[in-house]
Structure 1
Amino acid sequence: MPTSRETILAALHTRLSALPATALRGDVLPERVPAEGLLILRDGEPGEPEVTLSPLSYHYQHRAEIEAVVQGVDRDAAFDTLTASIGSALVTDRTLGGLCDWVEAEAPRPADLAVEGAASLKAAVIPVVLHYTTADPLA
């Protein structure tokens, strides 16, 4: 049975997979970026939990990351559309079907990346904070 952390990350990946862009999880950047854009979900860092007693509970603010990448002539508009679609996907259900207490994305930090012999990329890391509680740090 998967842990709470894995279940939440899988649910987030499923949510991203519903977008027009290709959504990967933990993969390396492929040689070609699809025309609709590319999203790579990184598991990130759960951080130090706050602990409450009776019952024993671990409250996490897990920081996952979404790498958003577009390529092409009109990459600024494509990037804006892609990041807005991520925000819309998260706002529709901030609990990922009741798996989290709250899911919130932070502002992207975009960068233009030159590619030898091809159109440059526009990419950003978008931190996503997943608030959830578990009964065990390994569960």
Structure 2
Amino acid sequence: MTSKREAVLKAVTARIVGALPGAEVKRNLAKAERIGPGGLVVVRDGDPGEPEVTLSPLTYLYSHRVPVEIAAYESATLPREAVIDQMLGAIGASFVSDRTLGGLCDWIEAEAPVTDDVETLGALPGRIAEFSILAIYATSDPLG
């Protein structure tokens, strides 16, 4: 049986894939070798942190920050800043449309991104944005 943490991480990744159909979406990619024409998204497992614990019934409430990195180049019609902005907007709208992630979470939202340039040898400079998805969920077992 899949743990609640893993189910939330898979659902976050699937939601991003649905929001950005042209992007390459990877989970826990060690080192990006290239940014594809539709952009690259890396979803990391993050740290669920110390849970709040309630007794009777025993419940662990996590505020899990899931780090997300997106990278893109300019398109034929848009500068790289606009491409990143559109990608961020699509991801944000996807999570706003269902704040419970299909019932897996009590609440989910994206936090504000930090953006920067990314340069690779022999390629035009790209743009990267790093942010977290905050998923708040409860489980009866910290490992389950």
TM-score, normalisation: structure 2: 0.91
Shift >6 Å, 4+ stretches: none
Structure 1 stretch displaced more, 77-86 or 18-27: 18-27
Amino acid at match of 1:72: E
Measure the CA separation in 2 of the matches of 1:35 and 1:90: 24
Is the CA contact 2:46–2:66 (under 8 Å) kept in the aligned structure 1?
Answer: yes
Residue of structure 2 aligned with 1:35, choices 15, 19, 37: 37
Q: Which position in structure 1 is the counterpart of 2:116?
A: 111
1:67-106 counterparts in 2 under 5 A? 67-72=69-74, 74-106=79-111
Distance in 2 between the 1:72 and 1:43 partners? 28
| Deviation, structure 1 residue 126 | 1.1
The equivalent of 1:9 in structure 2 is 9
Unmatched tracts of structure 2, length 5 or more: none
Q: What 5-or-longer segments of structure 1 have no aligned partner? A: none
Partner of 1:63: 65
TM-score by length of 1: 0.94
Q: Percent identity?
A: 45
Q: CA RMSD in A?
A: 1.2
Structure whose residues are more often strand by fraction: 1
